[in-house]
């Protein structure tokens, strides 16, 4: 089954074109690495897939549903339930304790706090930081913050997890640990995982490498 | 989203946000207390009060409408300050909302949060306004009867208090709803087109000044509104021009201050307009006082001057709070940029230097607004321009008043800026702490 | 290659058969290429000739696998000296990947496709290594890190090679 399908995506920032017609399909449970030099458009592609950016041309389909056909609110709801996003840093609400941060997508969807906390705790355990549930983000190390971000990305049971340089702010050892957590958590959930990275060790964890250059796919190889 | 979640997320915990909320709540409470006072006096109807216990401004039936009008104007000024405090887009708040949107919150949900946030502030401001009114009444009862403009408390005040609370809660909610702008769509916020703002400001100003010849009192608010509108639309241009000029300066303190000004032109311009409004009214009051002093034969000198001084003091208080709002904005920037600032330590930047930057940043906004406002107020007051044409004031009086006001407002701006620098010294030290290099 | 010194190191714990030496080597370098029997015996023979090891036991009629070797004092000293000396940096010796790439570019072959396949092959190797946990002994994780770091370095060079070729193509 195809979890995520991007067709002929084009996107321009004010002056320069970031993507010039990129298509890609991600099967459920697959792990895909998107690589390429800085400025090749890889993060833009991920942001289009996540619905953070709206492409100028082309379509984004999630579990067969075209994002462009949805209202802004429905898109937000879909993002909340079907997609988990992990960025390089800075995605946690600074003044909320971890448990609430992780429970956030469920709380926003209208779940009771106690119920949301129960799920959040499960995922905090899954990523190995259940002891930090009551800490606020500023009290945590970079690796712990990223783990919390992974837990939050998965708490609502998404079919696709999108990660933009998830280990970018970490040293190689913490990065490896985080990568293991990310891959095993996505597998545990059975979600497809799409990672944008310039780190070969992260790319090596994928089943497929898609390499971008100047906004087009340069090559695509199975790993 | 459940109510519990809504309240959880609306509650704010960062320091910069808390001081913003404290400021807004205090301003609303003050505004509410003045409103209760106005209603209380209004409800007196034609009832007589003893000269022993209350000020003549309250006891003399003919003066009551005037006093009520003054109270309402002051209340509105305080409320506009609250709006301003609510609108200060603290960086921490923007980041929070961005993070929420990333977690899948819809625009509507984030707007609802902002609405609840402001509604709560209105509620607390309203709840505090009653006790504040009682405290002010008590405080003023220690002064000589002439200044007792708070005519005591009564049972009906409780009802008025409740009504004021409801009004403030509702208006807080409305402000929160309409002033919310998504951090992602920064440029598309609702705003008056510059040309239209400039044109209507200029038109109001001209109408105000011209009609002042015939109708002195109604012309004043027109003049004031025109001035404020013009300032709000022109000040961003001026600040940007100033910033560009300063950014060519060799002094690194000025360079930094200008960069920060350019960054946040609009809210700075709004606070500048508020300062200008206060300063204008101070100028008007000063002019009226000068007029009274000139006709020194009046046996009521004490009566008039007390009123003038009290109004002037209330306005100065308002200006001080507006300066405080400006300071909160600066403090917020500091917290937000603490990492970059900590990097500056390596370049030899210390707290003294940063205090100079902050002082410059505040004085650059406050001084021109205050100086322009007082001078224009002095010239365009009720017995101003029109009268000067018919019956010129002795040059000495005018020049003296003008020079005095210019000096005072400059001193107020610079003094306030220095005070702000002093008050922020701990934040500045924290901001420069190399420890910040660790935290993102 | 320092196979001789490694064999001395493997014998430093006590006398051993050639077979034990081979087993020891392969467990020290679990991700590396296994040591061939032939190489073990030729190395032991050369070391014996140089007086660095000696035969301490020889079962009658047995082949080479019946012989037990031990370190001599001279061998122990040689090993200690070897461990003190830093290794001179590599002299830019061309490995197979570089040879193929140069040949592909010079002969007008599809260098870009070769590089993409080579990247995939390296990435696959890293994944295999990352997926099987390194042994618990003190040296296995070191060996693992070394191998992965070198593959990573190769990949980074492959990256820049791809970029460079693309630039040459577009200009």
Last residue of a domain, one of C44, C60, C84: C84
Is B28:B121 a contact under the CB 8 Å cutoff?
yes
Strand A216-222 relative to strand A192-196, pairing? unpaired
Cα–Cα dist C68/C64, whole Å: 9
Residues B124 and B227 in one domain: no
For residue B385, what pLDDT is reported?
58
Q: Is residue B89 part of a domain?
A: yes
My answer on whether B178 and B126 are in the same domain is yes
Q: Computed from CA positions of residues C139, C140, C145, C150, in that sequence, does the dihedral angle turn out positive or negative?
A: positive
pLDDT in tens, C54-112: 998 877 665 656 789 999 999 999 998 888 887 776 665 568 888 888 888 888 888 88
Q: How far is C110 from chain A (nearest CA, A)?
A: 13
Q: Does ipTM surpass 0.85 in this model?
A: no
Which one is predicted more confidently, A169 or B340?
Answer: A169
**Looking at beta carbons, which residues of chain B come within 8 Å of A80?**
103-105
In-domain check, residue C155:
yes
Residue B315 covered by a domain: yes
What are the distances in angstroms from CA B39 to CA B42, B53, B56, B73, B129?
5, 19, 18, 13, 13
How many domains does the structure of chain C reveal?
2
Q: What are phi and psi of B332, to 5 degrees?
A: -65, -45
What is the nearest CA distance from B143 to chain A, expressed in angstroms? Answer: 46
> Is A176's CB within 8 Å of C130's CB?
yes
Radius of gyration over every alpha carbon of chain A, rounded to an integer in angstroms: 17
Task: Give the closest-approach CA distance of A205 to chain C in angstroms.
Answer: 6
CA distance A40 to chain C (A): 11
For residue B157, the number of C-alpha atoms closer than 13 Å in the C-beta half-sphere is 23
Q: Residues A121-126: what's their mean pLDDT? A: 93
Residue C103 sits in which domain range?
A: 96-169
CA distance B28 to A222: 64
Is there a contact between C119 and A222 if contact means CB atoms under 8 Å apart? no
Q: How far apart, in whole angstroms, are the C-alpha atoms of residue C37 and residue C57?
A: 19
Chain C residues within an 8 Å CB radius of A183: none
Whether B268 is in a domain gets the answer: yes
Q: Chain A: give the shortest CA distance to residue C114, in Å.
A: 11
CB atoms within 10 A of CB A76: 22
Residue of chain C whose alpha carbon sits nearest to that of A176:
C130
Contact A41, A215 (CB under 8 A): yes
Residue B44, CA distances (Å) to A11, B33, B135 in order = 68, 17, 20
pLDDT on residue B251: 67
Domain count, chain B: 2
CB-based contact, C160 to chain A, within 8 Å: no
A201 and C117 in contact by Cβ < 8 A?
A: no
CA angle B230, B366, B315 (to 5 degrees): 85
**Which of C111, C114, C120 has the most A C-beta neighbours within 10 Å, making it the best mutation to test the interface with A?**
C120
Residue A75 has pLDDT above 50, yes or no: yes
C-beta of residue C38 within 8 angstroms of C-beta of residue C46: no
Minimum-distance CB partner of A105 among B14, B95, B103 = B103
Residue C91 resides in a domain: no
Task: Enter the tokens of residue A191.
Answer: 């979600």
Is any Cβ of chain A less than 8 angstroms from the Cβ of C155? yes
Gap between the Cα atoms of C89 and C2, Å rounded: 15
The b/e string for A110-129 (b: 16+ C-beta within 10 A; e otherwise) is: ebebeebbebbbebbebbeb
Chains A and B in direct contact, meaning 3 or more beta-carbon pairs closer than 8 angstroms: yes
Token representation of residue A131:
């002891």
Based on the domain organization, do C7 and C73 belong to the same domain? yes
Matching CATH number, A2-222, of 3.90.79.10, 3.40.50.12280, 3.40.50.300, 1.10.3720.10? 3.40.50.300
d(CA B144, CA B54): 9
- In this complex, do B92 and A94 lie within 8 Å of one another by their Cβ atoms? yes
Of A96, A105, A111, the CB nearest to B104: A105
Q: From residue B393, give the alpha-carbon distance in Å to each of A58, B295, B389.
A: 74, 12, 9
Residue A210 φ/ψ, nearest 5 degrees: -115, 120
CA distance linking residue A82 with residue A26, whole number of Å: 14
Inter-axis angle of helices B155-179 and B107-140, nearest 10: 150
C-alpha span between C37 and C17 (Å, rounded): 12
Size of interface A-C (CB pairs under 8 A): 45
Å from A84 to nearest chain C CA?
Answer: 24
pLDDT exceeds cutoff 60 at A23: yes
- Find residues 20-39 of chain A whose CB sits inside 8 Å of chain C: 37
Inter-residue long-range contacts of C121-125, CB under 8 Å, 24+ positions, other chains counted: C122/A200, C122/C151, C122/C154, C122/C155, C122/C158, C123/A200, C123/A203, C123/A204, C123/A206, C123/A209, C123/A223, C123/C155, C124/A204, C124/A223, C125/C151
Per-residue pLDDT tens listing for chain B (440 residues): 777 887 777 776 666 677 778 888 988 999 999 999 888 888 887 777 766 666 767 777 667 777 787 788 788 878 877 877 776 656 667 777 777 887 888 888 888 888 888 898 999 999 999 999 999 888 888 877 767 777 777 888 889 999 999 999 998 888 888 777 655 544 434 455 677 778 888 888 788 777 766 666 667 777 788 888 888 888 778 777 877 777 766 666 667 677 777 776 777 787 788 888 888 888 887 777 777 776 665 566 677 777 777 777 777 877 777 777 777 777 767 666 666 666 666 666 677 777 887 888 888 888 888 888 888 888 776 666 556 666 666 677 778 878 888 888 888 888 888 888 887 777 777 777 766 665 44
Residue B189 is assigned to a structural domain of this protein: no
Q: Which residues of A touch C159 (CB under 8 A)?
A: 37, 200
Closest CB from A80, A90, A142 relative to B104: A80
| Domain contains C108 | yes
One domain for residues B120 and B232? no
Is residue C163 located within the same domain as residue C108?
yes
DSSP result, C106-121: HTT--HHHHHHHHHHH
A&B contacts, CB < 8 Å: 81
Using an 8 Å Cβ cutoff, are B364 and B275 in contact?
A: no
Residues C80 and C102 in one domain: no
Same domain membership, residue C117 and residue C75 = no
Q: Which tokens belong to B221? A: 């608010």
Domain residue limits at B438: 205-440
pLDDT at A149 over 80: yes
Give the 3-state secondary structure of chain A.
CEEEEEEEEEEECCCCEEEEEEEEEEECCCEEEEECCCCCCHHHHHHHHHCCCCCCEEEEEECCEEHHHCCHHHHHHHHHHHEEEECCCCCCCCCCCHHHHHHHHHHHCCCCHHHHHHHHHHHHHHCCCHHHCCCCHHHCCHHHHHHHHHHHHHCCCCCEEEEECCCCCCCHHHHHHHHHHHHHHHHHHCCEEEEECCCHHHHCCCCEEEEEECCEEEEEEEC
pLDDT for residue B390: 60
In a domain, C89, yes or no: no
Cα separation, B233 vs B223, whole angstroms: 16
B199 within some domain: no
In the numeric block, which tokens belong to residue C20?
């034990």
Interior CA angle at C145 toward C139 and C149, to 5°?
150
Residue A51, token pair as written in the block = 């619905």
Percentage of residues in chain A with pLDDT exceeding 70? 100
Degrees to nearest 5, angle at CA A187 with A145 and A169: 25
**Residue C17 β-bridge partners:** C68
Closest partner CB to B14 (pick from A87, A95, A107): A95
pLDDT tens-digit readout, C1-28: 578 999 999 999 899 998 899 999 998 8
């Amino acid at each position: 089954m195809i979890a995520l399908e991007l067709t002929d995506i084009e996107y321009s920032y004010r002056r320069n074109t970031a993507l010039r017609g990129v298509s890609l399909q991600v099967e459920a449970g697959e792990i895909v690495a998107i690589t390429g030099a800085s400025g090749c458009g890889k993060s833009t592609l991920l942001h289009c897939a996540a619905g953070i950016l709206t492409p100028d041309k082309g379509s984004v389909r999630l579990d067969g549903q075209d994002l462009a056909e949805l209202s802004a609110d429905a898109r937000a709801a879909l993002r909340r339930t079907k997609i988990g996003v992990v960025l390089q840093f800075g995605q946690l609400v600074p003044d909320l304790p971890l448990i609430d941060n992780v429970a956030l997508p469920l709380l926003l969807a209208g779940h009771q706090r106690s119920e949301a906390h129960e799920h959040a705790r499960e995922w905090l355990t899954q990523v190995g930081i259940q002891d930090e549930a009551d800490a606020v983000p500023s009290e945590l190390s970079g690796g712990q913050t990223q783990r919390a971000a992974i837990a939050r990305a998965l708490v609502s049971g998404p079919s696709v997890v999108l990660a933009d340089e998830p280990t970018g702010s970490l040293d190689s050892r913490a990065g490896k640990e985080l990568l293991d957590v990310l891959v095993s958590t996505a597998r545990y959930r059975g979600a497809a995982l799409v990672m944008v990275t310039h780190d070969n060790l992260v790319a090596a964890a994928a089943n497929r490498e898609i390499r971008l250059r100047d906004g087009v796919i340069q090559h695509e190889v199975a790993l | 989203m459940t109510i519990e979640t809504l309240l959880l997320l609306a509650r704010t915990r960062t320091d910069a946000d808390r001081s913003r909320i404290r400021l807004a709540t205090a301003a609303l409470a003050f505004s509410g207390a003045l409103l209760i006072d106005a209603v209380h006096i209004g409800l007196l109807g034609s009832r007589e009060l003893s000269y022993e216990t209350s000020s003549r401004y309250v006891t003399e039936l003919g003066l009551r409408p005037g006093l009520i009008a003054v109270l309402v104007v002051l209340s509105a000024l305080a409320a506009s300050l609250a709006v301003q405090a609510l609108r200060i887009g603290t960086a921490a708040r923007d980041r929070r909302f961005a993070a929420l949107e990333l977690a899948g919150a819809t625009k509507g949900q984030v707007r609802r949060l902002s609405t609840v946030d402001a509604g709560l502030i209105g509620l607390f401001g309203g709840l505090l306004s009653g006790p504040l009114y009682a405290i002010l009444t008590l405080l003023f009862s220690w002064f000589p009867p002439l200044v007792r403009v708070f005519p005591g408390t009564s049972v009906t005040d409780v009802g008025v208090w409740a009504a004021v609370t409801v009004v403030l809660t509702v208006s807080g909610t409305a402000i929160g709803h309409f002033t919310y702008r998504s951090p992602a769509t920064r440029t598309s916020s609702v705003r008056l087109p510059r040309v239209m703002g400039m044109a209507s400001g200029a038109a109001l100003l001209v109408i105000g000044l011209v009609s002042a010849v015939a109708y002195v009192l109604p012309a004043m608010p027109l003049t004031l509104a025109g001035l404020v509108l013009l300032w709000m639309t022109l000040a961003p241009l001026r600040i940007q021009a100033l910033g560009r000029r300063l950014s060519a300066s060799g002094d690194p303190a000025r360079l930094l201050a200008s960069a920060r000004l350019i960054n946040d032109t609009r809210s700075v311009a709004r606070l500048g307009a508020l300062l200008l409004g206060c300063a204008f009214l101070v100028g008007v009051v000063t002019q009226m006082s000068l007029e009274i002093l000139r006709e020194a034969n009046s046996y009521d000198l004490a009566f008039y001057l007390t009123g003038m001084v009290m109004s002037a003091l209330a306005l100065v208080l308002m200006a001080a709070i507006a300066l405080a709002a400006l300071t909160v904005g600066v403090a917020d920037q500091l917290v937000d940029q603490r990492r970059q600032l900590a990097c500056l330590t390596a370049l030899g930047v210390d707290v003294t230097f940063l205090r100079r930057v902050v002082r410059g940043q505040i004085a650059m906004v406050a001084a021109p607004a205050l100086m322009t406002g007082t001078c224009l107020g002095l010239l365009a007051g009720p017995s101003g321009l029109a009268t000067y044409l018919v019956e010129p004031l002795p040059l000495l009086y005018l020049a003296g008043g003008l020079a005095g006001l210019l000096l005072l407002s400059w001193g107020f701006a610079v003094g306030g800026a220095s005070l702000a620098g002093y008050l922020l010294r701990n934040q500045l030290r924290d901001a420069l702490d190399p420890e910040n290099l660790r935290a993102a | 290659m320092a196979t001789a010194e490694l064999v001395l190191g493997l014998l430093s714990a006590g006398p051993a058969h050639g077979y034990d030496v081979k087993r020891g080597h392969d467990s020290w370098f679990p991700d590396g290429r296994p040591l061939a029997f032939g190489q073990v015996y030729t190395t032991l023979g050369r070391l014996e000739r140089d007086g660095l090891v000696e035969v301490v036991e020889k079962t009658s009629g047995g082949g080479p696998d019946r012989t037990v070797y031990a370190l001599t004092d001279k061998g122990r000293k040689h090993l200690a000296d070897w461990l003190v000396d830093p290794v001179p940096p590599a002299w830019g010796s061309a490995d197979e990947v570089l040879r193929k790439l140069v040949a592909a570019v010079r002969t007008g072959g599809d260098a870009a496709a070769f590089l993409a396949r080579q990247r995939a092959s390296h990435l696959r190797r890293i994944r295999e290594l990352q997926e099987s946990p390194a042994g618990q002994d003190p040296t296995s994780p070191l060996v693992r890190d070394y191998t992965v770091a070198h593959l990573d370095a190769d990949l980074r060079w492959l990256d820049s090679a791809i970029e460079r070729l693309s630039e040459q193509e577009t200009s």
